[in-house]
Amino acid sequence: MPDAIAEVRAELHALHRTLVDNGLVAWTSGNVSARVAPDLMLIKPSGVPYDELRPEDLVLCDLSGVAVTGTLRPSSDAASHGYVYRALPEVRGVVHTHSTYATAWAARGEPVPCVLTAMADEFGGEIPVGPLAPIGDDAIGRGVVETLREHRSPAVLMRNHGVFAIGDSPRAAVKAAVMCEDVARTVHLSRQLGESATLTAQTVDALHDRYRNHYGQGDA
């Protein structure tokens, strides 16, 4: 287990840099977590700048968000990440960002409509809006789970707050967060030109199925 956790620490450290490189976070905001055992996760410590973050700084927590080793306090979102892991056993990575365009949609309380083939591929429909929830306990996690259970999207815009994304790995969750910002920006720009062309439900279903089941190299 110690060696496995060390490997996840290195991966999470690199993924936090990916958030910075893609412009999804500012200063100390945002975080990535990973499930490392059925009842344990690693998450970014609270208030530590990205350029000072080290793999050994990532905090090992139980799924209530309570640190089980070390002296650094975990992210204020730890309880919500833990709630997601408790409620959705298949999830192994959770990401939170305040990326500019997606968070602008969250500030409006408006889902990003599925008007792009890339959205149909990755999200299987619109990127939904979750409820406004207080920070510091598991309320955000409850809103994330309740919202995503009604959608195929791996990302949710938490009202007046930002993006939460999930995946079967931390990397998959980060990918969903990156794609969420990309399509939020593109759909915003398209609105400046007028009405966007809609995709039919049948087209969305076909694109999502192709992407999930046939795109890429598979097991080859």
Active-site residue set: 121, 215
- The answer to whether the beta carbons of residues 155 and 176 sit under 8 Å apart is yes
> d(Cα 98, Cα 191) in Å, to the nearest integer?
21
The count of other CB atoms within 10 Å of the CB of residue 25 is 21
Q: Is 59 helix (H, G, I), strand (E, B) or coil?
A: strand
- The answer to whether the beta carbons of residues 31 and 96 sit under 8 Å apart is yes
- The answer to whether the beta carbons of residues 49 and 57 sit under 8 Å apart is no
> d(Cα 211, Cα 122) in Å, to the nearest integer?
7
Calculate ∠ Cα 173-179-184, nearest 5°: 130
> d(Cα 105, Cα 128) in Å, to the nearest integer?
10
